[in-house]
Amino acid sequence: MKILLTKEQIAERVKLLAAELNADYEGRELLVIGILNGSFIFMADLIRELNIDLKVEFMGVSSYMDGVENSGKLLITKDIHLSLNVADVLVVEDIIDSGVTAARLVEMLKSRNPRSIKVCALLNKQSRRVNSFSADYIGFEIEDEFVVGYGLDCAGRFRQLPYIGVVQM
């Protein structure tokens, strides 16, 4: 497996993202929503670097009903329990690929009347985008390669890797 991003590169970028979030949300309470399963390691490291008031929730979402092709529909497999009414919301994603799932998720969450909603993604594959969706905070821009590690998986494997690697097909 080729290492794309080392543990050290990821840690440094997470600190920079957290500094940006600390500045943007200073004096406000933030509701951080991690999208399962891939974001859990990134989100844990990110929130440990934040020095603002926050609450944490998790959601499970999918647009891949058959596991391969994006259906264009959003399936909520685990919903949040807190009200979003007048909350500042930060959705934490592992990777933004086509942008379909992220765009539909943001649209759905906006219907719950948050004060604000922004998306922070560790990885962004702009070359795969099929819509105009753009995350507000991006860790790394990457090429169209299949990546694993640091929470991202291949058939449930490799999430525990401390780095992000490219799967050699």
Instruction: Provide the annotated active-site residues.
Output: 97
Question: How far, rounded to the nearest angstrom, does the alpha carbon of residue 67 sit from its chain's CA centroid?
Answer: 19
Two structure tokens written together for 52: 């603002």
List residues bridging with 149 in a β-sheet. Answer: 152
Torsion, Cα 19 122 13 26, to 10 degrees, reads: 0
Torsion of CA 49, 6, 144, 62, to 10 degrees: -40
Can you tell me the distance from the alpha carbon of 94 to that of 66, in angstroms, rounded to the nearest whole number? 20
Buried/exposed 125-157: b ≥16 CB within 10 Å, e otherwise = beeebeeebebebbbbebeeeebbbbbbbeeee
